[in-house]
Amino acid sequence: MSTLVAATLVALPGLALANADLEKLMSNPKNWASQAGDMYNQRYSTLKQINKSNVGKMQVAWTFSTGVLRGHEGSPLVIDGTMYLHSPFPNKVFAIDLETQTIKWKYEPKQDPQVIPQMCCDTVNRGLAYAEGKIFLQQADSMLVALDAKTGNKLWDVKNGDPKLGAVNTNAPHVFKDKVITGISGGEWGVRGFLAAYDINTGKQAWKGYSVGPDSEILIDPQKTTTWADGKVTPVGPDSSLKTWQGDQWKIGGGTTWGWYSYDKALNAVFYGTGNPSTWNPSQRPGDNKWTMSIWSRDVDSGKVNWVYQMTPFDEWDFDGINEMILADIPVKGKPTKALVHFDRNGFAYTLDRTNGALLVAEKYDPAVNWATHVDMKSGRPQVVSKYSTAQNGADVNTKGICPAALGSKDQQPASFDPETKLFYVPTNHVCMDYEPFKVEYTAGQPYVGATLSMYPAPNSHGGMGNYITWDAGSGKIVQSKSEKFSVWSGALNTAGGISCYGTLEGYLKCVDKNDIKKELFKFKTPSGIIGNVFTYEHKGKQYLGVFSGIGGWAGIGMAAGLEKDQDGLGAVGGYRELSKYTELGGSLTVFALPN
């Protein structure tokens, strides 16, 4: 950067920069410098050496075992010839020389194993972040750690939560500007959710914004923070959260933030989602339970809330709202739009104007969704079907046949956006449930669920538990759907080579023609089921494509944790019992390339 340009940037405080170092690394497609490859969460690469005409010839180039047999989510980072890998608990970090595949350094934190039973749905970790010579790791025990990228030496660490209260971490940290942003897990323990920002150089907390509670703690301005109501963008008004909780229930109210975050530097805004309210028994927390189950826009410098939109008021089904927010400039109903697109657990795909939070599209992206008929576009509220309302049916009543199940039409597995086709490529679940709420007392540090679940494939469907779909977010329509035997629990990747790739729970890496996803071009069985995210990079003129395999996560919790009763794992064990016929525990990275 020239002195003149640098001086100009300093002189223009209104001109927002993302982290300049990270932006530069991201702009080089040889790297995979963040979990989504960019700050918009698009998961798209301009590399095209591997393309739809030759992807079928891919071979395994190399593999690496993490030495951990639990669910492997997220993906490694690749920065200037070095790959940085993470593992589930105990959250090992490896730096690998891409030339020799040798380990340059390894970091293995010493964490109390008592953290493990405080993690609801496997001991997963969704990955690392990088900026300015530092690797950022969000450990399960809530310690946020900065490591020297060259040596692995710890530069600083900071405590983000209290595992003794169930406040643990599974999310990947994200770097925007001079801050590393992280959230918190533990909605099933009555943890009160928040998003926090720390200085990347010192670890000092810059701000912390809660999901529920008083305006001052959420960082809401009642007059300036807006929401969608009565068909328009309107101020939230005072006590917008407190008014929707009974008594002090908000203090153990959930709204955790363990998903993926995106950033628009022109707006200087971070976008993310909040999770379910606590407890899962809705009769114990009457009201809309704001601002759980919501899409948020916050100012990165101050944490102040620009706008917030609640998707599932008074959640009765655990339709956690943490899935990624994908930013894309697309036509919506014929009008060019700075859009935010979100595929929610509740089975509706939302398209909002990310500049102001206006609701533009809300449509089902799985035809099996039955708990609501539609989203009323004026109020923004889903229209609930009484038959499937666990609150109306009451505690100790087993409400049957709710679609989707609590793990949603899509969980945290991220979709991709392709700027060439203007379509979204979405890994989905096709699963329904029976849900019986019951009264539960809050005890600090103990599970605070209050519901028994059973899960099973959606009836009268293709017979499988998953689909890989393409979605038109401007009109709210499925373009194509490719069925899979099990839920597609892997993050997608699209490239300029005309391919779209994802993994399956049985362990197959698959690449399809992005213009016709029913056309399968490549299929390879990796050592274990895939819940990791596909990524790509280039080294010495050769393109590589890789993915973690290691069954686990919510879908694979029965195998990962050795659970056997159908209703264990919050109902997932019974739903995915057949999975054990197709795969076994693992923990490895498989990297593919074209033959020399």
User: Which candidate, 241, 285, 275, 312, places its Cα nearest to that of 391?
Assistant: 285
Quote the pLDDT of residue 460: 83
Strands 44-45 and 493-495: parallel
User: Which candidate, 490, 431, 491, places its Cα nearest to that of 465?
Assistant: 431
pLDDT in tens, 402-425: 999 999 999 999 999 999 999 999
Quote the pLDDT of residue 17: 81
Copy the structure tokens of residue 86: 């993470």
C-beta separation of 462 from 485 below 8 A: no
C-beta separation of 28 from 16 below 8 A: no
Mark the ranges of the chain whose per-residue pLDDT is less than 70: 1-16
pLDDT in tens, 109-151: 999 999 999 999 999 999 999 999 999 999 999 999 999 999 9
Please state, in angstroms and rounded to a whole number, the distance separating the CA atoms of residues 143 and 146: 10
- pTM here is 0.96
C-beta separation of 492 from 534 below 8 A: yes
Question: Given the structure tokens 């274990």, which residue do they identify?
Answer: 528
Quote the pLDDT of residue 462: 75
Quote the pLDDT of residue 148: 98
Catalytic residue among 215, 288, 318, 320: 318
Q: How far apart are the first and last CA of the chain?
A: 38
Quote the pLDDT of residue 461: 78
Residues 96, 97, 100, 105: what is their CA dihedral angle, to the nearest 10 degrees?
-50
Please state, in angstroms and rounded to a whole number, the distance separating the CA atoms of residues 218 and 212: 6
Copy the structure tokens of residue 576: 């995915």
Residue 351 β-bridge partners:
341, 361
Q: Look up residue 164 and give its amino acid.
A: K
User: Which candidate, 213, 186, 209, places its Cα nearest to that of 196?
Assistant: 209
Give the contacts of 6 (CB within 8 A, at least 6 positions apart).
none
Copy the structure tokens of residue 172: 């990947």
DSSP-assigned states of every residue in 87-100: -STTT-EEEEETTT
Q: Is 318 an annotated catalytic residue?
A: yes
